[in-house]
Amino acid sequence: MAEKKTAAKKAPAKKKSAPKKTASTTPKVNIYGLDGKVKGNVQLPEIFDTPHRPDIIRKAVNASRANRRQPYGPGEKAGMRHAVAQLGKGRGAARVQRLTQGGAAAESPPNVGGRRAHPPRPAHDWSEKINKKEKALALKSAIAASGKMDIVKARGHRVVDDMTMPLVVSDDFEALFDTITMDYGKKKARPAYTKEAIAVLQALGLQDEMDRAKNGVHQRAGRGKMRGRRLKKPKSVLFVVDDMAKAKKCLGNIPGVDITTPKGLSVELLAPGGDPGRLTVYTEKALNALGGN
């Protein structure tokens, strides 16, 4: 008798298990109050785990600056708006264009008022391409660099050794404008926003950093100082806040300071000139917007 063939039973498909959530390796940093005292701590977002890539950061900064560059050059008829003629051969004089009225040399590059020999072309394309993934990695790496003490110090910022990086302040910093307005309103005096803001920064241990930026302001060398760029100012603290309008009224007049929101963060703000590790102060709200708890 022929043996009966039995169909092999199929093994039940295994259910795909959900990926296990791994604990974040980012450290906890202190939260400082307006008096400079530690009020608690917070776990940094995972974005601060991004590897340090100074090459990608510099590439992104250079591309951003190049794409913002405006083409320039002379007009098509610059230096050529003259009635000219040549003397011709046999007169013992250079065969250059000369004004028909006056006889002075004109139009040629060596002559006064003539065209330029090799001018910049307005049609030149100064833009540089950078991949989307490279640009995103540069921003994440620049944010992560603001949380590393050795990189911040290597950039030249003066910070207290026992301070945790990045510097995180409580949400009372967001209400600093309203607090100053209320206090001075009781006295019926004009609010001194910058003075009160500087007192808070001094309590946070940023006095040396403010002095570095203030004393570093100097006059530019060369012709640039004649074209609206007389002074060069060092970059100091970058404040990342939730309400940018009110923060500007308190911090906008301090030398070297920039203010932005989490959505407005860019590689140029975090790494001016392509050098990562800018001293950055985050409020709790701003840190939560980056993915913090």
Contacts for 203 with CB less than 8 Å, ≥ 6 apart: 34, 35, 36
The CA distances from residue 124 to 107, 131, 147, 226, in Å, are 24, 22, 40, 26
- Confidence class for position 15, pLDDT limits 50, 70, 90: low
| Mean pLDDT to the nearest integer, 169-194 | 92
Per-residue pLDDT reduced to its tens digit, 92-111: 888 889 999 888 999 999 89
pLDDT digits (tens, 9 = 90+) for 126-145: 999 999 999 999 999 999 99
Q: How confident is the prediction for the chain on average, in pLDDT? A: 89
Three-state DSSP state, 94: coil
* Under 8 Å between Cβ of 114 and 239: no
Q: Is the pLDDT of residue 21 over 80?
A: no
| Percentage, residues of the chain above pLDDT 90 | 77
How much is the pTM? 0.81
Q: Identify residue 59 by its one-letter amino acid code.
A: K
What pLDDT, in 10s, does the model give residues 221-258? 988 888 888 999 999 999 999 989 999 999 999 999 99
Domains of the chain in sequence order? 28-69+128-216+229-289 (3.40.1370.10), 72-125 (no CATH)
Written as six digits, the tokens of 54 are 């100074």
